[in-house]
Amino acid sequence: MLEFFKKGFKNLKFKKDKPTPLGDLEEKIMDVLWKIGNGTVREVREELKEDLAHTTVMTILDRLYKKGLLKRTKEGKSYRYYPLIQKKEFEKKVAEKVITDIIRSQPDTALAAFEGAIDTLSPEEIKKLKKLLEEKVKNEKK
């Protein structure tokens, strides 16, 4: 699963005000698997409530498996797919990747954006951020 994040995102898109390296169908299928925990092509297809061909869902599940986001076990003539990462952790890793890439390539832009983002934080979030920064500075002095 970590290979997915190490390789970088070739198709990073911003949807619903958040970045994602997944295509629309990949994201919908991952959302289904995160919701139900695991599933076969048939089960995922039924949960999607869209008129998608069996082979389309099968292809997307296979693609997600090959990307390292799913594991699968043989079940009769088909496979049962399981997410290797939970949704919150996936979103966190995507956010970390985006932020790290921006900081490395455009540090001035990243700092300007960060300054603007601070205005949207709650007092509790600012306190937590301050604590993280203080710990980072303290650890670097050692």
78-100 tens-digit pLDDT: 999 999 999 999 988 888 888 88
State yes or no: pLDDT of 6 exceeds 60.
no
State yes or no: pLDDT of 104 exceeds 70.
yes
Distance between CA atoms of 71 and 1, rounded to whole angstroms? 9
The residue-averaged pLDDT of 63-78 equals 94
Reported pTM: 0.74
- pLDDT recorded at residue 109: 85
The residues that bridge with 135 in the sheet, in sequence order, are none
The residue-averaged pLDDT of 104-123 equals 86
- Structural contact between residues 30 and 22, judged by C-beta atoms closer than 8 angstroms: yes
Distance between CA atoms of 46 and 4, rounded to whole angstroms? 27
Cβ contacts of 24 within 8 Å, gap of 6 or more: 15
State yes or no: pLDDT of 142 exceeds 80.
no
- Please report, in angstroms and rounded to a whole number, the separation of the first and last CA atoms in the chain: 33
